[in-house]
Amino acid sequence: MNLLKKINYNWIKKFSYPLIIAGPCSAENEEQILNITKNIDKSYVEVLRAGIWKPRTKPGLFEGVGEKGLKWLIKAKKKYNILLSTEVANEEHVKTALKYDIDILWIGARSTCNPFTVQEIANTLKNTNKIILIKNPLNLDIDLWLGGVERLINNNIKNIGLIHRGFSLYKSKTYRNIPCWLEVLTIKKEYPKLPIICDPSHITGNSNKIYEISKKAIDFGYDGLMIETHNNPKEALSDSNQQITPNYLTEILNKILLKKEINKKYINDLNLYRNNLLEIDENIIYLLHNRLITSKNIGVLKKKHNLEIIQKEKMLELKKFYKEICKKINLDEKYIQTLFDFIHKKSIETQII
């Protein structure tokens, strides 16, 4: 039997529904941590988040304050009676976080991409009762993500959950990381006992869009939200565009959770498919754009070498190519042919100009 089906993830039931995790992208100084914890609405937020070790895309950026940040978190925990969470990316991080008795550890998107890293973390966490959350990998590879969960289960770790933070596909202008709801909700349907928390901050990359994604996640029946919250987002040392103030966080949560009847099991299939269509269309547009650029380059070469723009043999070859693909996947050949007639017409126009 599938490992993931064997496990009963009861840990989430100890929290209110939905579980709200909030706090800054990064711990910056003691005062910042204490102020944010003071200002977030503890009637909603049960867990404080703060990155101590920050995986940055480029060197030379703020890479986190390290171990001393955990001391600030402990102070906040004692003063405001809140649970703590932080990201771990290697054996040393795990050992340090465990030394400070941090309640929830999460594996970041960049780490989930690397099976060696996940294995190292899982081995170091062996037999732990801590809650371990694993973010989706950067790329849309559900097996890699679930493989990470299996590595944890294999190390007798029982309190596991997923964090959905979106995927980097092409160059999305709508969101920092495309949510790909359909794929993630398929996991939810298949493994209903594996909690899924949505991270609207890293999906949107934009403080103005946190509400819409958080609402969608709750409508889809997610178990919780992780939202980056900072007293002064503009001055934040990392992810300043996507962090929201504690006041705005409360406003959003009031809107989503108070005025709406929440039914955890309710999944709006229509919305789900509509969202999926939007994502597919976005990708089609980017691909068509790439195709036109390539066509234009071909046009330049043809001109340089005095070749005809319309090369009948090439056209026939392409038609045959499309036909074979359609046959393989049982797709209406005429539909694809008509579509490509239009696409080719535009390519020819681009080459003539």
Residue 223 binds which one of ligand PEP, Mn ion, none, with CB within 5 to 8 A depending on kind? none
Pull the structure tokens for residue 333: 């050949």
Using CB under 5 A, count the residues that bind Mn ion.
2
Q: Which does 18 bind (CB under 5 to 8 A by kind): ligand PEP, Mn ion, none?
A: none
Three-state DSSP at 191 gives coil
Contact call for residue 25 and ligand PEP (CB under 6 A): yes
Is there binding between residue 51 and ligand PEP (CB under 6 A)?
A: yes
Closest CA to 222 of 300, 136, 316, 109: 136
Cα atoms in the Cβ-side hemisphere of radius 13 Å centred on 255: 13
Residue nearest ligand PEP, CB atom distance? 108
Query: Is 135 among the residues that bind ligand PEP (CB under 6 A)?
Result: yes
Please work out, in degrees rounded to the nearest 5, the angle formed at the alpha carbon of residue 100 by the alpha carbons of 39 and 118.
100
202 binds ligand PEP (CB under 6 A): yes
Does residue 234 sit in helix, strand or coil? helix
Q: What does the H/E/C string look like for 279-348?
A: HHHHHHHHHHHHHHHHHHHHHHHHHHCCCCCCCHHHHHHHHHHHHHHHHHHCCCHHHHHHHHHHHHHHHH
Site string for Mn ion, 227-246 (x = CB under 5 A): ------------x-------
- Which residue among 64, 108, 137, 224 contacts ligand PEP (CB under 6 A)? 108
165 scored as a contact of ligand PEP (CB under 6 A): yes
Q: Considering the rule CB under 6 A, would residue 224 count as an interface residue with ligand PEP?
A: no
Supply the minimum distance, in Å, between the C-beta of residue 110 and ligand PEP: 6
Q: What does the angle CA 188 – CA 189 – CA 190 come to, to the nearest 5 degrees?
A: 95
Our CB check for ligand PEP shows the closer of 108 and 179 to be 108
Span from 107-115, 126-134, 184-192, 302-310 in contact with ligand PEP (CB under 6 A) = 107-115
The type of residue at 13 is: K
What phi, psi does 221 have (nearest 5°)? Answer: 85, 25
Shorter beta-carbon distance to Mn ion: residue 165 or 188: 165
Residue 25 contacts Mn ion per CB under 5 A: yes
> What is the closest distance, in whole angstroms, from the C-beta atom of residue 148 to Mn ion in the complex?
19
What distances in angstroms separate CA 142 from CA 99, 146, 187, 268, 297, one per listed residue? Answer: 32, 6, 8, 22, 36
- How many chain residues interact with ligand PEP (CB under 6 A)? 10
> What is the rounded CA–CA span in Å between residue 277 and residue 271?
10
Binding site for Mn ion (CB under 5 A): 25, 239
Q: What residues make contact with ligand PEP under the rule CB under 6 A?
A: 25, 51, 55, 87, 108-110, 135, 165, 202
